[in-house]
Structure 1
Amino acid sequence: MDVQRPAAGGPGAVGLRPARESDVDLLEALTNDPATVGEYQWFGWHDPGYLRRRWRDTGLLSTEGGMLVPTAEERPLGLVSWHRTRTGPHTYCWNIGMVLLPEARGHGLGTEAQRLLVRYLFAHTQFNRVEASTEVGNRAEQRSLEKAGFTREGVLRGFDFRDGEWRDHVLYSVVRADLSS
């Protein structure tokens, strides 16, 4: 299940593929190493074997959510993830996230990875909405989401706790009808 498209403003193509066992150490660094994750993704240390166990048990793909590895010219760029979020008594949407390696940031690769993930989720699930949020101060991610086709919906006050403070987030979404307009 490789999904691939030319990178916006960059050489080669961005693709998404399932995680391989050889990716697990990289994925652990992208979630558990403050130097790798970056300012807006460091939430403190956590169980270092968590992703290895999830990979062994599910391949990081389940009906509740998953992780894929974005690539450029076969080189891993980071991870994209999604999980099911309740929107009503009988309905759900996908909530997505992304962490890129420091060298992959700022080149439009994340924008394309998020665009591919939305298309993948709409092609293979019946959910009507994909949402993402980012800290109010993370202007680069806000631009990336907008370029990927997301609509800014509003500010979620006191939404997330990071580095000793409650942080406001900006909520974005894309619905199926947005892809046809």
Structure 2
Amino acid sequence: MDAHRGSDGPAGRAVVELRPARESDLDLLEALTNDPGTVGEYQWFGWHDPGYVRRRWQDSGLLTTDGGMLVPTLDGRPLGLVSWHRTRTGPHAYCWNIGMVLLPEARGHGLGAEAQRQLVRYLFAHTQFNRVEASTEVHNRAEQRSLEKAGFTREGILRGFDFRDGEWRDHVLYSVVRADLTAD
């Protein structure tokens, strides 16, 4: 798979490149999924199997027909990870559900919005699904702004949607459909 490079876009927008994970990324990806100090407040869901990411990379390179994981980079430096998985939307229809975790030093600079924008374009260019969705906790204002900057539309609140840090959390649901890209 070729890397997907962000467009130059409006002045000031960072050029983010998405690429497949490399063996040299595995320690970073493990930290982004299993280290509370690296993942941040809204992504820490407790300890899990420490070999999971490495085994998935060995089995599939973290890319399957049902989902995957790519590494967003800026000037060759990894920024974190973006991921997606197939979600059923009807008896015969599916969409992509995406997620992202950035390194602490990459947060707050607009890089996440650009990485999510590039992931949406990548998924629409290489799959036939019509919808990409994402959700975030209602108190995660930074991620809500990131999704909106990436072109997602806020759809509503998912009550009691996720369990983190001892309590059920409400989420805000966002989506992009193919027609949204042609409207740009």
**1:13 Cα deviation from its structure 2 partner:** 2.1
Structure 1, gaps ≥5 residues long:
none
**1:39 Cα deviation from its structure 2 partner:** 0.3
Residue deviations 1:13-57 (CA, integer Å, cap 9, x gap): 210000001101100000000000000000000000000000000
- For 2:25, the equivalent position in structure 1 comes to 23
Structure 2 CA distance for aligned equivalents of residues 31 and 17 of structure 1: 18
- For 2:43, the equivalent position in structure 1 comes to 41
Structure 2 CA distance for aligned equivalents of residues 169 and 9 of structure 1: 32
Distance 1:9 1:160, change over 3 A: farther
Structure 2, gaps ≥5 residues long:
none
Of 148, 151, 154, the residue aligned with 1:149 is 151
**1:4 Cα deviation from its structure 2 partner:** 1.3
For residue 55 of structure 1, what is the amino acid of its counterpart? W
Residue deviations 1:49-90 (CA, integer Å, cap 9, x gap): 000000000000000100000000000000000000000111
| 3-state SS of 2:132 partner | strand
- The list of structure 1 runs, each at least 4 consecutive aligned residues, that deviate by more than 4 angstroms after superposition, is 7-12
Aligned Cα root-mean-square deviation (Å): 1.3
Structure 2 CA distance for aligned equivalents of residues 158 and 165 of structure 1: 9
Structure 2 CA distance for aligned equivalents of residues 147 and 108 of structure 1: 8
Is the CA contact (8 Å cut-off) linking 2:67 and 2:86 kept in structure 1?
yes
Structure 2 CA distance for aligned equivalents of residues 176 and 153 of structure 1: 16
Distance 1:11 1:46, change over 3 A: same
Instruction: Give TM-score scaled by structure 2 length.
Output: 0.96
Structure 2 CA distance for aligned equivalents of residues 161 and 9 of structure 1: 39
**Aligned pair 1:3/2:4, yes or no?**
yes
Is the CA contact (8 Å cut-off) linking 1:10 and 1:108 kept in structure 2?
no
- For 1:75, the equivalent position in structure 2 comes to 77
- For 1:61, the equivalent position in structure 2 comes to 63
Structure 2 CA distance for aligned equivalents of residues 99 and 168 of structure 1: 19
**1:10 Cα deviation from its structure 2 partner:** 5.1
| 3-state SS of 1:13 partner | coil
Structure 1 CA distance for aligned equivalents of residues 152 and 14 of structure 2: 24
**Equivalent pairs: percent with the same residue?**
83
> How do residues 84-95 of structure 1 correspond to structure 2 at under 5 angstroms?
84-95=86-97
For residue 76 of structure 2, what is the amino acid of its counterpart? E
Instruction: Give TM-score scaled by structure 1 length.
Output: 0.97
Distance 1:104 1:8, change over 3 A: farther
Structure 2 CA distance for aligned equivalents of residues 11 and 151 of structure 1: 20
Structure 2 CA distance for aligned equivalents of residues 21 and 8 of structure 1: 34
